[in-house]
Amino acid sequence: MNTEPSARIVIADDHPLFRGALRQAIEAVIAGTEISESGNFSSLLDVLAQKGTADLALLDLTMPDVQGFSGLIYLRAQYPDLPVAIVSANDDPAVIRRSIDYGASGFIPKSLDVPTMGQALQAILEGRTWVPSDIDLSQPTDRETNELIRRLTSLTPQQVRVLMMLSEGLLNKQIAYELTVSEATVKAHVSAILQKLGVESRTQAVIAAARIAASAGTPNAS
């Protein structure tokens, strides 16, 4: 008898009640799914490292240890073959469009009913991009945003994590401790980040990172 799950899905959201509701929705529309839950971005990374593979990650934009689209950018760099769908209460068309620009395979508003959510999940698992039907993805992104996206997506996964920590105000020594690397390695990452983002200082790099949060409409974008 085949005991393999029909799909492996990881839910990353800091609200336990919503994780439970999303789990029930998934189980109602996709039989035999193996579901893992994470309450923050760090535990999501632990789950992915332990599991080795997943068919889909469902990522909230507003978790305590991740700013705006930086978590999405990190996942796309670290796990390029892993489809990532944003699941968010913020269904602003600009946020949905930016999610796709940064590499999401879909955007699922938390307000969706269960049948529609099931259709969205099925479409993404089949390799298609899914957004609400009233969202037009055909309009081109403005040149300045395109350039920022290009620069941000050129960062390595470790450089994305360093940029996230810079945005939190951590010093090189603190970043080195968190990532279990030397301060010299952190300095090298910071230099590479500045070069790739086309900026001259840590402050300018943090401003660029803040634009990621602002474009996601996150509370800490201010």
Q: pLDDT digit string (tens) for 169-201? A: 889 999 999 899 999 999 999 999 999 999 999
pLDDT given at position 213: 61
What are the residue ranges of CATH 3.40.50.2300 in the chain?
7-125
CATH architecture of the domain covering 7-125: 3-Layer(aba) Sandwich (3.40)
Judged against a pLDDT cut of 80, whether residue 95 lies above it is answered with yes
Nearest CA-CA partner of 59 in 29, 79, 33? 79
57: tokens are: 């990650």
Judged against a pLDDT cut of 70, whether residue 130 lies above it is answered with yes
Annotation: CATH topology of 143-221: Arc Repressor Mutant, subunit A (1.10.10)
Compare 92 and 186 and report the one with higher pLDDT: 186
Nearest CA-CA partner of 109 in 90, 127, 135, 122? 90
pLDDT given at position 3: 58
Angle subtended at Cα 94 by Cα 88 and Cα 96, rounded to the nearest 5 degrees: 40
Percent of the chain clearing pLDDT 90 (strictly above): 33
Indicate the SS3 state at residue 191: helix
pLDDT given at position 217: 54
- Give the DSSP letter string of 10-77: EEE-S-HHHHHHHHHHHHHHSTTEEEEEESSHHHHHHHHHHH---SEEEE-S-BTTB-TTHHHHHHHH
Element (H, E) at 87: strand 84-88
Q: Which residue has the tokens 């300045």?
A: 144
pLDDT tens-digit map of 8-48: 999 999 999 888 888 888 888 888 889 999 999 889 999 99
pLDDT given at position 152: 85
pTM, two decimals, is 0.81
Judged against a pLDDT cut of 70, whether residue 215 lies above it is answered with no
What are the residue ranges of CATH 1.10.10.10 in the chain?
143-221
Nearest CA-CA partner of 121 in 24, 13, 17? 24
